[in-house]
Structure 1
Amino acid sequence: MTARLASVALEACAKVIDGKYVAKQIRDEISTEASRMKEAIGVVPGSAEILVGDRKDSATNVHNKKKACESVGINSFEVHLPADSKEEDVLKFISGFNDEPSVHGILVHLPPSSHMNEQSILNAVTIKKDVDGFHPLNIGRLAMRGGKLLFVPCTP
């Protein structure tokens, strides 16, 4: 009897979520905000992605993010470097995006090539544009109760 009551209680709490509908609502909100920014202050939000190597899953992710950005009025910049690129090349692109006023967020796809220092690459992204929340200061702020995050990471 107790197990049955627990089952009934769980069923009463369950809610089916229409993911496509929720995603459309979020896209519509982002599109509205991007339009408002452009009209109010003449700024179009910009996102930059850096991919090193030829991982198909990461390439698909970059492609999908680019399409999503375009659909809501966000400029999308991407750099795709060969797996044998030098770490300095990646750091130069990060530095360039850090300094570029039309780029407001930077994502470096992980893991980079095995010969690269992942932490060095993540540390190079300015905290103000670290949308993944991997910069050491963002990680520390996330761990602190009441810490002020510049970006809340999209993944737990």
Structure 2
Amino acid sequence: MVAFTLNGAPVALEVSPDASLLHALRGPAGLSGPRFGCGTEQCGTCMVLLDGAPSYACTLAASACAGRAVTTVEGLGTPDAPHPLQAAFLAEQAGQCGYCLSGILVSAAALLARDPDPDDGAIRAALDPHLCRCGSHNRILRAVRRAAAAMRVPA
């Protein structure tokens, strides 16, 4: 049993001692946002936020999350109140197949939490661990810039 905070709510999941966080999220927790891609930290489809920092759920032991906070794409917003990144990605049509987007969204959320006005270089650096073969990179950059602008509080 491993207990942690998942998307703002306490959970206790029964998993084997060697189970990955990704297995725990997609299995006992019933989430589908974090995806299995490579299993070797090379694609970013499994990316989640662990205590606010992007982390690969495919290689992270679920037991290492005990007492910590895990946020998945499902925890960023809701269908009725999407996170500004989710709204911006829709507005910019920033995804095609969408397989990589959950990881990209959580990494972009971590970026905007630490840098509310990132330049293109900072956005590219934050999203560099993510493999996207759809060719929507320019739209992804526009979406992150749009979300950053929407999140800035007027002075």
TM-score norm. by structure 2 comes to: 0.24
Report which structure shows greater RCO (CA 8 Å, sep ≥6): 2
Answer 1 or 2: which has greater helix percent.
1
